[in-house]
Amino acid sequence: KLSYDKQSGRSSRAAVAPTMLLPWEGKSGLDVRPYDKLLNKAAPVVVPLLVGYGSKVFKPLYSLADKVRNRKADTEARQATSNAYKPCVIFSSRTIKDEAAYKSAFAEYAEGAMVREGVRACFSFMDRDKEMTAVQFAWYDSASDLVPEPPALKECYCGTVATDYTQTWGKWNADFKAALQTDMCKYSFVEEVRGFLKEPTEANAKGFATGEPPMIWISKRDILP
């Protein structure tokens, strides 16, 4: 029996049944003899099971943990790469005079713009909820890739700063801003993009060549302060 004297700071051993008295347990102690007996009897059976079958049970858990860590690392790497890409994305809502004239002028403008290497998207369609209103979307790799609208297309607009708006995101500059602005539309320019745009690199080429029209979702929402 192993005991501990708090006053003398010494331990003593008595010739009694083997019972351990832990220092922090006081005089009552903790009898571990049943545990020792159980462990001695179970060890020859439990240890081989843990060695033989434990790996089969825990190996999938280890593999899952590795996959989660690897997936997190891959996601961080993709985000770091995508975040380095600073294009300019433009979304507009413009009031027009004549639908047929507008469609003809914009089609000619867009076809000429899309042959340029730095232009990823340039299209327009009529707003189904607002009469004589056209929605436009353009995506440029950089501010220097902007293709200014020709006079024939600008002549189709008849809106004001109260009815028309253009929202620009990305790494725009003063020249980009000056070339885009008119006095017939309200403009907003934001450099920070809350999210990521996939770079048009060889590694992402398959993601751009879908073989069918893409789905682009743009939402304008009011948020809490």
pLDDT tens, residue by residue, 109-153 = 999 999 998 998 999 999 999 999 999 999 999 999 999 999 999
Question: What is the rounded end-to-end Cα distance, in angstroms, of the chain?
Answer: 70
Provide mean pLDDT across the span 164-173. Answer: 93
CA pair distance 42, 49, nearest whole angstrom: 11
Is residue 13 pLDDT above 60, yes or no? no
| Mean of per-residue pLDDT scores for the chain | 77
In the sheet that 88-95 helps form, which strands lie side by side, from edge to edge?
A: 119-126, 133-140, 88-95, 165-170, 186-190
CA pair distance 225, 139, nearest whole angstrom: 30
pLDDT at 220: 78
pLDDT at 213: 72
Q: Are the C-beta atoms of residues 176 and 116 closer than 8 Å to each other?
A: no
pLDDT tens digits for 23-67? 444 444 445 556 566 666 666 666 666 666 555 655 666 566 666
